[in-house]
């Protein structure tokens, strides 16, 4: 029996509708959540991503403060703009789209964002709070994965979870979030990576397998047990002459074969991807509520 598909589009739409209603209520109290988006240069993927974020803000009623800067903008000019947004009461969240041009130090830029407006959840202050279990902005993609599991009725309590990938954006924070005490955690987590001797030995024992490697077909059907839940975070371009663009998007999981063995699986595209922007919107609303002392 084929796996049930977890649609990120459907879960994201559900959360966005909840946020829209919450924002409507905040506006009655003269609170308008605001997100400052800063894009340096014209990287096509970044432009597309930023445009999607700005459109999503408009759809649910978040004030979008758009800042599109030239590629030759200096590091000093960018840091000055971030300082300005840190002190702007209309702005509850600041998003600097990565990657930045090579002449700008990304770490320095991310550190310059006020942690109370770090809606990406990348600032070390927020990372530290997350690790010790304090209230913090959770990184958007890992939080999106947890919401997909929760809203699909998949219980993480006591589950054996294997994460394949240890990036600072997905693997590491997701592992930390899953071991926390709470409704979205309490799992037993194993993290596999490029130096793991036998990844299959771990994934075959897992109730939930989460792939975040950046390589197509990393997880194959023989690597999971019957009835496992498989979450595919990867997005990879593979050549496909039959497509108008000459390529198609695939995940890190051999979807066609794994879906015949798994109980739940996420597709690519349309799986985890839509959740990332949605959880950014969620963090922006949470920031507005904290700034206004609304619970």
> Is 150 part of the annotated catalytic residue set?
no
CB 252 within 8 A of CB 286: no
Angstrom distance (rounded) from CA 30 to CA 24: 10
And the tokens for 26? Answer: 């905040």
Distance CA 94, CA 78 (A): 12
Q: Does 97 qualify as catalytic in the annotation?
A: yes
Residue owning tokens 């959840």:
121
Q: Which two tokens stand for residue 222?
A: 């023989």
User: Measured between alpha carbons, how far is 5 from 271 in angstroms, rounded to an integer?
Assistant: 9
The rounded distance, in Å, linking the Cα atoms of 228 and 235 is 21
Active site residue 147: no
In this structure, the strands spanning 208-211 and 160-164 are parallel
3-state secondary structure of 57: helix
Nearest Cα neighbor of 94 from 80, 107, 106, 110 is 110
**Please, what is the Cα angle at 225 between 199 and 145, to 5 degrees?**
75
Pick the catalytic residue from 85, 97, 207, 259. 97
Catalytic residue, from 65, 118, 120, 207: name it: 120
Which residues are known catalytic residues?
Answer: 53, 97, 120
């Amino acid at each position: 029996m084929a796996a049930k598909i977890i649609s990120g589009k459907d879960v994201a739409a559900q959360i966005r509708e909840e946020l829209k209603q919450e924002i409507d209520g905040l506006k009655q109290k003269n609170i308008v959540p605001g997100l400052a988006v800063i894009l340096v240069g014209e990287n096509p993927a970044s432009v597309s991503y930023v445009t999607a974020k700005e459109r999503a803000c408009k759809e649910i009623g978040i004030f979008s403060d758009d800042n599109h800067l030239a590629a030759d903008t200096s590091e000093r000019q960018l840091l000055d703009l971030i300082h300005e947004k840190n002190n702007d009461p209309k702005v509850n969240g600041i998003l600097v789209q990565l990657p930045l041009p090579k002449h700008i130090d990304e770490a320095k830029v991310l550190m310059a964002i006020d942690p109370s407006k770090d809606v990406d959840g990348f600032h070390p202050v927020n990372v530290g709070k997350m690790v010790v279990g304090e209230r913090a902005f959770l990184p958007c993609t890992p939080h999106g994965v947890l919401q997909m599991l929760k809203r699909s009725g998949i219980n993480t309590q006591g589950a054996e979870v294997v994460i394949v990938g240890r990036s600072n954006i997905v693997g590491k924070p997701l592992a930390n979030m899953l071991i926390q005490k709470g409704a979205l955690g309490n799992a037993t987590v194993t993290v596999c990576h490029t130096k793991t001797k036998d990844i299959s030995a771990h994934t075959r024992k897992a109730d939930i397998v989460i792939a975040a490697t950046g390589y197509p077909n990393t997880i194959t059907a023989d690597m999971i047990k019957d009835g496992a839940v498989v979450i595919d975070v990867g997005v990879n371009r593979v050549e496909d002459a039959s497509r108008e663009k000459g390529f198609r998007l695939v995940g890190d999981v051999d979807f066609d074969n794994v879906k015949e063995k798994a109980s739940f699986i996420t597709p690519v595209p349309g799986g985890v991807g839509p959740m990332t922007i949605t959880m950014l919107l969620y963090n922006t609303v949470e920031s507005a509520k904290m700034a206004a002392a609304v619970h």
